[in-house]
Amino acid sequence: MSQSTRILLALIAGLLVGIVLAAYAPESVDPVISVAQPVGQAWLNALQMTIVPLVFSLLVTGVAATAKAAQAGRLAGRAVALYVTVMVASALSAAFLTPLFLGLVPLPTESAAALRAALTGVGPNPPVPPLGEFLSGIIPNNIIKTTADSNFLSMIIFALIFAFALMRIDVELRELLVRVFTAVRDTMLVVIGWVLWVGPLGVFALALVVGARAGSGAFHALVHYILIVVAVGLVVTLCAYPMAMFGGRVSLARFSRAALPSQAVAVSTQSSLASLPAMLAGAQSLGTHVTTAGVTLPLAVALLRATGPAMNFAVAIYIAHWFGVPLSLGTLAVGTLVAALMSLGAVSLPGTVSYVSSVAPVCAAIGAPTAPLGLLVAVETLPDIMRTLGNVMWDLATTLTLARGEQMPGDEADTLVEHMID
């Protein structure tokens, strides 16, 4: 049984036990919660303690890998530019789509209130600082204190400055530091693996408290959350079709047929890497030369997370809406940037790991609490299928676009890719 399945079953069991206790043995609710609540909070703390070192090391190694890929040749450089543009556009789409969907299909007020009351570790929302204070606080004056306070936006900016400066030093020293941060990243992944191994216990405890306090409304709210996040991912996924049609100049029917095998693998395995052979076959069936697809598709699998920024940002916006956090245009702009950056850094991570490490900084950047992530990670299986499906579609669509550019004369190819990036 997979880890995600064990955690999902623990969530369902915890909610059911909590609901049954509240309905048939209300006198036992408080004693049970007094035990379950600290257990769930301890597990959530263990999950959160890894985020700061993991996020910093992911950004440094992610920027290093992206810069190295961009220097590998003209095709690779243009591919990286296109991938970054797609991820920024993906995050931007969530800033518009998520509030729209929440307005069309709002979360029931009773369920939202019950869940807010049930979740522990969520304090009052801090007041939104004035614009000038916010801008001046972006640049940290003490990176150690900023990191200790989990000020993710300032930490991300410092990590990016550090990573870009790292690209300018001596090659041997650069490779040494990249190896150090790779070791930090891999160590944190081992720690998270241990935490997730006991995840069913932690999620069961959290879900029991929520079920006992929120009742059946917890199920309604979780289903509503899944539908909203999956809907955002579906829109981003569908946009891959016009990308292939106009960028790769293939018909909708041909692209759909060529993509079916890789879609089937993506849904069954939830892995873009496992879908790579099917994507290569699909690209060749559409006339893409193997020498081009052999460069761009592995690069896309390694770097491009087309649905990640949109769905991660959708989660953060959903939590903000859930807890009544106001979101201005400026806040959404900051969230868009952070969501795109964190998806770039979260390449090749397992779904449950990338979920926490990618969404928590976005939540912090827009002022949304991160405590609900310990509960929401348990229902990530269905959204993760949509993430993988969308990533595979965009990997194939961008490969067709870049391949058409490679088959043209130099100036015309450059004009095409620049047009697609714009």
Confidence of residue 421 (pLDDT cuts 50, 70, 90): very low
Which of 122, 114, 107 has its CA nearest to residue 213? 114
Range of lowest pLDDT (154-163, 171-180, 226-235, 360-369): 154-163
What is the secondary structure of 27-40 as a DSSP string? GGHHHHHHHHHHHH
CA angle 204, 343, 129 (to 5 degrees): 85
Q: DSSP secondary structure string, 178-214?
A: HHHHHHHHHHHHHHHHHHHHTHHHHHHHHHHHHHHHH
Going by pLDDT thresholds of 50, 70 and 90, the confidence category of residue 314 is very high
140-149, 159-168, 258-267, 412-421: the lowest-pLDDT one: 412-421
CA 72 vs CA 65, 68, 295, 356, 415: distances in Å: 11, 7, 10, 31, 21
When pLDDT is averaged across residues 410-414 and rounded to a whole number, the result is 44
Q: For residue 354, give the DSSP letter.
A: H
> Residue 104, SS3?
helix
**324 phi-psi bin (left φ>0, alpha ψ -120 to 50, beta other):** left
Tokens of 186: 């891999």
Average pLDDT, the chain: 80
With cut-offs at 50, 70 and 90, classify the pLDDT of residue 122: low
- What pLDDT was estimated at residue 233? 94
pLDDT confidence bin for 419, thresholds 50/70/90: very low
Segment 46-63 shows an average pLDDT of: 80
Handedness of CA 133, 84, 167, 150 (dihedral sign): positive
pLDDT at 311: 93
pLDDT at 229: 94
d(CA 138, CA 154): 5
State yes or no: pLDDT of 411 exceeds 50: no
Contacts of 231 (CB under 8 A, 6+ apart): 97, 101
With tokens 């069913």, the residue in question is 200
Mean pLDDT of 230-238: 94
**Amino acid making up residue 113:** A
> Is pLDDT of 422 > 60?
no
Q: What percent of the chain lies above the pLDDT cut of 70?
A: 84
Q: What is the DSSP string of 325-358?
A: ----HHHHHHHHHHHHHHHHHTTT--HHHHHHHH
Residue 413's pLDDT is 42
- Other CB atoms within 10 Å distance of the CB of residue 13: 16
Which pair of structure tokens corresponds to residue 331? 């806040």
In the structure, what pLDDT confidence band is assigned to residue 310 with cuts at 50, 70 and 90? very high
Hey, what are 131's tokens? 């614009």
CA dist 271 and 348 (Å) reads 9
pLDDT band at 227 (very low <50, low <70, confident <90, very high): very high
Residue 388 reports pLDDT greater than 90: no
Tell me: pLDDT of 179 over 70: yes
How far is CA 199 from each of CA 11, 49, 378, rounded to the nearest angstrom? 10, 15, 9
pLDDT for 408: 42
Tell me which range, 131-145, 152-166, 376-390, is most confidently predicted by mean pLDDT. Answer: 376-390
3-state secondary structure of 39: helix
* Backbone angle region of 305, left / alpha / beta, with phi > 0 → left and psi within -120 to 50 → alpha: beta
Lowest mean pLDDT among 99-103, 306-310, 326-330: 326-330
For residue 415, pLDDT beyond 80:
no
- pLDDT value, residue 302: 75
How far is residue 106's CA from residue 321's CA, in Å, rounded to a whole number? Answer: 10
How many other C-beta atoms lie within 10 A of the C-beta of residue 203? 28
Asked if residues 397 and 248 have their Cβ atoms less than 8 Å apart, the reply is yes
How distant, in Å, are the alpha carbons of 72, 356, 359 from that of 51? 31, 8, 10
pLDDT at 134: 57
pLDDT per residue over 10-45, tens digit each? 888 888 888 888 888 888 888 888 888 888 888 878
